[in-house]
Each structure stands twice: as structure tokens, then as C-alpha cells.
Amino acid sequence: MTPDLTTIVELRGTTAVLAAGGAAIGLLFGIVAQRSRFCLRAAVIDVWRGRFGERLGVWLLAFATAVVAVQALMLIGWLDVGSARQVANRGSLSGALVGGALFGIGMIMTRGCASRLLILSANGNLRALLSGLVFAVTAQAALSGVLEPWRTEVASWWLVDGGSARSLLARLGLGNGGGLAVGLLWLAGGVWFSLRARNRPWLWVGGIGTGLAVALAWWFTYAVSAASFDPVAVNGLTFSGPSAQWLMRVLHSPAPPLDFDAAMLPAVFAGSALGALVRREFRIEGFHNGLTMLRYIAGAVAMGFGSVLAGGCAVGAGMTGGAIFSLTAWLALVGMWLGGGLMDRLLPEAAAAPAQPAASHLGGVAPATA
């Protein structure tokens, strides 16, 4: 007989079980996001330039799958997000809008959101690697460093209480059934755009798989919280907090045991690297010139500060928070689309052809670029 989760938690310990689940879900996310080229930035550019192509289809499939799966889990009683920080805690509407816009601006300048930078770093992209490091440093500075006063000031402009006031479904008088219906409408849009763009099979699998990874994270952390006597935060996938956490792990010793977030981040890297090596898409890429490097660094700073101010990155706020209809998460997502579209208009070269790669590479096909 297969032991249930309560028995496993008792035998292995809560932290170890959370780390194992985070690693498994992170590995899945890394593989499917790498293969599908999942990226909010790419979808934003598609829309603002009137292309409505395969990249928009992939993002819509991922987002809609996350919404549908999460709302279905809540309907059947397998998930309760009442204690999740995106809904339960007091939030900032000003932080969501301003932070989301800054994040959108930054992801255009760095040619990738936080999760995409991690994916590309594992594919040999040194531009993404540097941007990711700057992103992590800035996120930590905004959490509890020199940028914290600025973050708290902007966040204090327009606050919203936790609970029903921070839930879009509660504000609109809709239940999880209504949320599921909204998700199905988004899914229909994703299917339509994907069919219109004649997306290849891996783009369908990757988009849907990315959304399922978000839902799995919600379900798994909730299941462990119900099976454990220790307090466990119910949360989904996010990259801003774990990036800052890993920075502090590197700088301080001894590091605490791996938890869900800490195990998830390197697993995403490993999954992306595995996908790149299997498909012979690993290639070392660097900067074309110093001005390009400055643009990437500035974008990473904007993205790091914006993600903490908004309460998460394109995945953490946009998809994870969006799937549970957190008001601040949806406002942050709106800010990301607006900020990204504006920066694409002002700095179109940031979304055009990538900088020239370095000479060395492995593999015989063109890799994903940042």
C-alpha cells in the first residue's frame, strides 16, 4: 500500500517533503518553459505590435491552464488559499500598479522576465545570467536593504485590506465556479490563438504544462500544510523571493535547510539545462557592447524593485496570484502589460534582434535568445 502524505511527512519531515516537491515541480517547469519558450515579454510584444502569434498563444495557454486548474481544485475541495499572502494579508494597489509597470519596463530592457532569465541562464546566456544576478541583488535590497524605504513609501499610497477586499471573485460576487468559467474563456482564447498561429506540438504541451506546474505548486503546498503539524505557508510558484533568498544563502553560512522555494529555483535551472542539452540548444552568448550591458543592468534593477513592490514577478504575481484572483496580482499583471508595451515603443531595439553571441556554442540549431 502506498503511504499517504501524512505518513510521508511524519517519516521524512515537513521541510524535506516540501523541498522534494519544490524540486519536482521546478524541474517540470524548467523543462516545459524551456521547450515552449514561455515568456510574458514575448506575449506583450506580440500584442502591442499587432502580431497575435504563437508566443501569445503559449502564454495564454499557460495562464488559462493555471486559472482553470486552480479554480477546479478549489471547487472540489482540494485547495484552500484563504491563508495565502496574496489574499489574506493587507496589500498595496499602488505597489501592484507601479511595481508591475516597472517590472514590465525592465523585462523589455533585459529581454526576459525573471523566470525567463533563469531559463536562459541555464542555456548558456551570459546576458541573462548577469541580469538575473542584478535582479536578485535588487530584490533583496527592496525587501530589507537600502531600497526598502522607497518600496514602503510607494506601497503606502493606496492600500487594500486582506480577505474578501483583496479577492476579485468576492468583489464581483462570483464564486470558484465563476472563476472557472473565466479561466475557460481565457483557455478558449489561448486555443484559438495557438490554432491561428499553427503552434507546434511542443508549444501546446509546454504552455499547458507551465500552467499545470503553477497549479501543482498551489495544491502541493496546501496538501503538505494539511498533513503537517508544523506551520506551512500555502503558496505557488514565484521567482523574486526565492532569488533573493538564494542570494542570502550564498552570502551567509550556515544556510538553512532547503524548503519549497529554495529547492524549486535550482530545479528550474536544471530542467532548462536538461532541455537545452537534449535538444542541442546550449550556446554561450555574451554582450555585444558596453551600452547593451548597461541597458540590461538598468532593466534588471527596475525588474527587481518592481517585482518586490508588486508582490511578485510575471509568474509569482501574474500567474500564481492571478490564478486565485488576487486583486493586487491582476493589477500587477495589468501594470506589466502597460509598462512593457510602453517600453517596447520607446526602446524597440530592446525587443528586436538580440546582441551578437560569443563565438563558442554547442549544438546545431538556433537557441532561444534573451
DSSP letter string, 122-179: TTTBHHHHHHHHHHHHHHHHHHHSTTHHHHHHHHTTSEE-SGGGGBHHHHTT--HHHH
* Residue 3: predicted pLDDT: 65
92 Cβ contact list (under 8 Å, min separation 6): 154, 155, 156, 157, 158, 159, 160, 309, 311, 328
The count of structural domains within the chain is: 1
Classify residue 355: in a domain, yes or no.
Answer: no
Q: Choose the weakest-confidence range: 98-102, 276-280, 329-333.
A: 276-280
277 lies in some domain: yes
Contact 271, 23 (CB under 8 A): no
Residue 357 is assigned to a structural domain of this protein: no
Asked if residue 366 is part of any domain, the answer here is: no
First to last CA, the chain: 47
DSSP 288: S
Q: What percent of the chain clears pLDDT 90, i.e. is strictly above it?
A: 67
Distances (CA, A) of 291 to 283, 296, 355: 22, 9, 11
At 349, the pLDDT band (50, 70, 90 cuts) reads low
In a domain, 361, yes or no: no
149, three cell numbers? 524605504
Residue 352 has a pLDDT of 45
Residue 92 forms beta bridges with which residues?
A: 159
Q: Could you give phi then psi for residue 37, rounded to 5 degrees?
A: 60, 35
Contact 63, 216 (CB under 8 A): no
Domain hosting 283: range is: 12-350
What is the predicted pLDDT for the residue at 363?
Answer: 40
| Residue 367 pLDDT | 39
> Distance between CA 186 and CA 316 in Å, rounded?
19
Q: In sequence order, what are the residues at sequence separation of 6 or more whose Cβ sits closer than 8 angstroms to the Cβ of residue 57?
A: 190, 193, 194, 196, 197, 199, 203, 207
What length is written for the chain?
370
What pLDDT, on the 0 to 100 scale, is given for residue 355? 37
CA–CA gap between residue 245 and residue 144 (Å, rounded): 11
User: How far apart (Å, rounded) are the C-alpha atoms in residues 43 and 347?
Assistant: 17
Note the pLDDT tens digit of each residue in 20-62.
999 999 999 999 999 888 999 999 999 999 888 889 999 999 9
The alpha carbon of 121 is separated from its chain's Cα centroid by a whole number of angstroms, namely 15
Please state, in angstroms and rounded to a whole number, the distance separating the CA atoms of residues 277 and 262: 24
Q: Is residue 368 part of a domain?
A: no
Q: Tell me: the pLDDT tens digits for 82-96? A: 899 999 899 999 999
Confidence category of residue 361, pLDDT binned at 50, 70, 90: very low
Cell of residue 337, nine digits: 502589460
Share of the chain above pLDDT 70, in %: 93
**Of 190 and 356, more confident:** 190
**Tens-place pLDDT, residues 212-232:** 999 999 999 999 999 988 888
Tens digit of each residue's pLDDT (9 = 90 or more) over 113-167: 999 999 999 999 999 999 999 999 999 999 989 999 999 999 999 999 999 999 9
In a domain, residue 258? The reply is: yes
Whole-number average pLDDT of the chain:
88
**pLDDT reported for residue 308:** 95
The CA distance from 234 to 253, in Å, is 27
In a domain, 358, yes or no: no
